[in-house]
Every structure is written in structure tokens, then in C-alpha cells.
Amino acid sequence: MIERNFLPFALPDISDEEIQEVIDSLQSGWLTTGIKTKQFEQEFAQFLGRNVEAIAINSATSGLHLALEAVGVSSGDEVITTPYTFTATAEVIRYLGANPVFVDIDTRTFNIDTNKIEQAITPKTQAIIPVHFGGLSCDMNSILEIAKTHNLAVIEDAAHAIPTTYDGNLIGSLDSDATVYSFYATKPIATGEGGMLVTRNSDIAQRCRTMRLHGISRDAFDRYTSTKPSWYYEVVAPGFKYNMTDIAASLGIHQLKKVWKFQEKRAQIAQYYNSQLSTLPLLLPPQAPNDNLHSWHLYVIRLDETANISRDEFIQQMTSQGIGCSVHYIPLHLHPYWRDTYGLKPEDYPQSLATHQKAVSLPIYTKMNQDDQERVVKSVKEILLK
């Protein structure tokens, strides 16, 4: 029986600032893409620096789709990514009639194994989508060098990775073609649904803005907020409906202001877990190297071979003690669509398979207090030390 005071796996951290900004939007009568979306974009670009352009969108999924379309991925092309991710990373490739080519992970990091990327490149390869798993950066220097050598686009799936850094630079400010963030309810900053696409390539930015709203040649913000007659527009491409609303942006404006505080709290929880769980029969999550920042969107342990319990039974017992856990992820090649479409077998990606079979995501979110953290640790110890 689940306890009444169930500790969830994740919760967003919303305060009065966000609530009042949403109320202001509701009272203004402006609910769709408008002034607050523009403000959120501008402040996000300023946060990253290096002349980044930011395009607010309704999900990271739509952002990845827009970015792939903007760099020219089309039917019959191939895009390299990891099977150890949520299906959105790969499904957007299929939206364009292209095919994902999966490369196994490095089990030390959960991220794509850069030593295996080049052998997956073919004449059809057009792009690489590295996924910064859990908020830990991929080896971007290696990936960018491979892409440069083979003339490939790089689109970073940074759904977990704000404010992650690599070589001292924020993810989103590197030399990739585009980077896409998620602001889903459980992400490091949350707008319920939503995301941001960033790029330093003005052509990519313009194409994404056009395709974000039905292929209309004028930016939605300009067309809908101009004080001059602005009824005229032209449709220049069969675009999509991927724009962010001002209500979502109202949340994002204030969530972004708290991003460093949020990261500090998540890191504190991660370090507490590390200190308390290090002697148990499990592998702790990888740390960010060289004083870089890990966003700690996820805290994923892996049960050791010596653990006296299976992963699934562990999660069941944690649930019975009132603590929510999850699994990130079921590798894509195990899912019916990807398995059957591409004739994949479980052993095709052995590192992803082995990692998945032992992985458990423990609760980690900024509203957790010390008692919450101690409950998690106490339950993990009780279960693994029986």
C-alpha cells in the first residue's frame, strides 16, 4: 500500500513570481505568442551569450524537428544519435523521412560513445544528435571534430542540460549548428510544456522562425503586436504549429532567473546522495569532469551485480515505502516500432541494454527538503542491506 505522504519522483518549483506573471498575461488578454515570449527569448539569448539567437517553441520535440529541417535533412538521409534516450530524439528524424542510425553509449557517462561514431557514418549521413543524458555533457570536442571532418551538422539534444557546461562554456553556446532545450514540467526549468531552440547561425534561426508558425514569412511577434496595419503575410513553406504561448513564457521568464539557484540545490541533493550511498552495492552516477556543471536533471544509480534484488523489485519496494522512482530509459531498440522497423535485436547495443537493466532514477528536484532526502536514503539502504 502506498503511503499517503508519497514522495514523487519529480515536481516543478513554481513560486509567486511565476503565478503573478501568468495572472498578468491572463488579465492582459494576450495569451498566445507575444511580448512575453519575445522577452523570454531575449533573456535566454543573453543568458547564453556569444550572439546566440533563441526561438521559443512548444516542446523540445518540435525544436529538434525544426532544427533538422533547417539544416536540410530530408527523405533517405541518415542521422546519428543514441538509443539511450526518449523516443522524441529519434522520431523527429522519421518526421522528415530520414533514418536514425544508433550508436551505443559509453557506460561511464550514459552518453553516446564518441569512439563509435565514425564507423556509423555513411554517404547518407547528414547530422549527429548528441544527447546530454541527465544533464551531463557529451564529449563535444570529439563530436564537433568528427562533424567538421565529415561535413555533418550537429544538433544538441539539451532537454536535460540547463545550465550544464562543457570546457567552461554553457551548453547552447558551443559551435554546434543548433541546441534544443525542454521546459517540460519535470525539467530543470519548467513551463509545463515548451522549449527553446538556440543557434548562432542566422540562416538556421530565420528558417526555424518561419517554419515554427505555418511557414509564414513574417515573425508572429511582429505580425501580431505591430501598431501598424499588419494583415498582409506570405506563406513561403508548409510549416508547422510550434510556437510558444505567452502564458508558458510567463513561467519561463522567472524560471530562467532561478536557474543557478536550482542547479545549486540539485547538485547539493546529488552530493548528499553520493555521500550516503557510496558503500552500497550500486554504481553512483557519473560526475561532471574538470569543474564543469552537471544540471542534475536526473540522479541515476545502477544496481551492482552483488545486489540481492532485481532492479524491478527494487523499484516496487521503493514504491511500497512511498517513494517514486523511474527508469531512464528503455533503449529505443527495445521498443516495437524501432525494433521492427529496423530489424534491431537487444544485443545490437549491449552497453545500452546492460545499463538499462540496472538503472534506477531516484527522486531529485528543488522542492525536496532534507527530510525528503533522508527518506530516500533510508529506504535505499533498508532495501539493499536486507
CA distances from 62 to 89, 93, 206 (A): 10, 11, 16
> How far is CA 150 from each of CA 41, 80, 290, 380, rounded to the nearest angstrom?
32, 13, 28, 46
Is 341 within a domain?
A: yes
Q: Please check the confidence at residue 151 and state whether its pLDDT lies above 80.
A: yes
Phi, psi angle pair for 57, to nearest 5°: -140, 170
Where is the domain boundary, 237, 257, 277?
Answer: 257
Phi then psi for residue 313, to 5 deg, are: -70, -35
- In a domain, residue 5? The reply is no
Q: Which residue has the cell 533517405?
A: 76
Question: Which SS3 state, helix, strand or coil, does residue 120 take?
Answer: helix
Work out the percent of the chain whose per-residue pLDDT is above 90.
92
Tell me which DSSP letter residue 331 carries.
Answer: -
Specify if 9 maps to a domain. Answer: no
- Do 294 and 230 lie in one domain? The reply is no
Task: For residues 197-206, give the mean pLDDT.
Answer: 98
**162 and 197 together in one domain:** yes
The reported pLDDT for the residue numbered 232 is 81
Phi, psi (degrees; rounded to nearest 5) at 80: -85, 130
Decide if 35 is inside a domain.
Answer: yes
In this structure, are 251 and 320 located in the same domain?
Answer: no
**C-alpha–C-alpha distance, residues 277 and 212, integer Å:** 45
Same domain, 243 and 263: no
- Render pLDDT for 254-288 as a digit per residue (tens, 0 to 9): 999 999 999 999 999 999 999 999 999 999 999 99
Whether residue 1 has pLDDT greater than 60: no
Spatial contact of 104 and 349, defined as CB atoms under 8 Å apart: yes
The CA-based angle 72-78-81, given to 5 degrees, is: 105
Nearest to 365 by CA among 298, 314, 293: 298
Looking at residue 354, which CATH number applies to its domain? 3.90.1150.10
Q: What's the mean pLDDT when you consider all of the chain?
A: 95
Question: Among 200, 225, 257, where does a domain finish?
Answer: 257
Residue 3 lies in a domain: no
Count CA atoms within 13 Å of residue 305 on its CB side.
1
Three-class HEC string of 90-115: HHHHHHCCCEEEECCECCCCCCECHH
Are both 246 and 265 inside the same structural domain? Answer: no
pLDDT at 2: 45
For residues 245 and 293, membership in a common domain is answered with no
pLDDT for residue 219 is more than 70 = no
Q: Which pLDDT score is estimated for 225? A: 60
Cα separation, 335 vs 236, whole angstroms: 37
The average pLDDT across 57-67 equals 98
> Are residues 335 and 253 part of one domain?
no
Write down the pLDDT at residue 386: 84
Domain boundary among 257, 289, 323: 257
**Statement: residue 93 has pLDDT above 80:** yes
**In a shared domain, residues 137 and 82:** yes
**Inter-CA distances, 385 with 40, 137, 281, 356, 376, Å:** 48, 33, 9, 22, 14
Contact 77, 126 (CB under 8 A): yes
The sign of the CA dihedral 47, 52, 56, 59 is negative
**Does 10 reside within a domain?**
no
Give the Cβ contact number of residue 149 at 10 Å. 10
Question: Alpha helix (H) ranges present in the chain?
Answer: 16-28, 35-48, 60-70, 88-95, 140-150, 202-212, 220-225, 246-257, 259-277, 311-320, 336-342, 350-358, 370-384
Length of the chain: 386
- Judge whether 74 lies within some domain: yes
Whether 223 shows a pLDDT value over 70: the answer reads no
Q: Which residues are catalytic?
A: 187
Of 198, 152, 195, which Cα lies nearest the Cα of 174?
198
Q: Are residues 251 and 323 in the same domain?
A: no
Q: What is the pLDDT of residue 80?
A: 99
C-alpha cell at 65: 524537428
Residues 91 and 73 reside in one and the same domain: yes
Helix (H, G, I), strand (E, B) or coil at 249: helix
Q: Is the pLDDT of residue 205 over 80?
A: yes
Regarding whether 215 and 123 lie in a shared domain, the answer is: yes
Q: What is the structure's pLDDT at 88?
A: 98
DSSP state of 76: T
List the CATH number of the domain containing 29.
Answer: 3.40.640.10
Query: pTM for the whole thing?
Result: 0.96
How many domains are there within the chain? 2
Task: List, for residues 318-375, the tens digit of each pLDDT value.
Answer: 999 999 999 999 999 999 999 999 999 999 999 999 999 999 999 999 999 999 999 9
pLDDT, tens only, 5-37: 999 999 999 999 999 999 999 999 889 999 999
Residues 220 and 266 in one domain: no
List the domain range (segments joined by +) for residue 87: 16-257
Domain assignment present for 141? yes
Query: Judging by beta carbons within 10 Å of its beta carbon (0-12, 13-18, 19+), is residue 140 exposed, middle or buried?
Result: buried
